[in-house]
Amino acid sequence: MKKSNKIETFEGKLQKIRELTTSLQSGQLSLEESLAAYQEARILLTECTAYLDTAELSIKQVTENGEIVPLNLEE
């Protein structure tokens, strides 16, 4: 399985996960290719999850009166 260039956007990562999942489900990959695809998908999934967690924290930083409070991840 050929490694792709670094994917920068959330949507791009999600699309790549879909493609890798389809390839894995096809049953046409060798064991080595399957392992590589799984590992790549796992890394992308971890990155997507971290992005969503950060987005959730940002949303929670909005106060009741609608003001946006700067996100402080150091707390």
Into how many domains does the chain fold? Answer: 1
Q: Is residue 69 situated within a structural domain?
A: no
Ranges of the chain with pLDDT below 70: 1-5, 63-66, 68-75
User: Per this entry, what is the length of the chain?
Assistant: 75
What's CA 4's distance to the chain center, in Å? Answer: 15
Domain that holds residue 39: 10-60
Buried b (16+ CB within 10 A) or exposed e, 27-42: eebeeeebebbbebbe
Please, are residues 13 and 44 in contact by the beta-carbon 8 Å criterion? Answer: yes
Q: Is residue 38 situated within a structural domain?
A: yes
Q: Is residue 40 situated within a structural domain?
A: yes
pLDDT tens string 36-55? 999 999 999 999 999 998 88
Q: Is residue 50 situated within a structural domain?
A: yes
Q: Is residue 53 situated within a structural domain?
A: yes
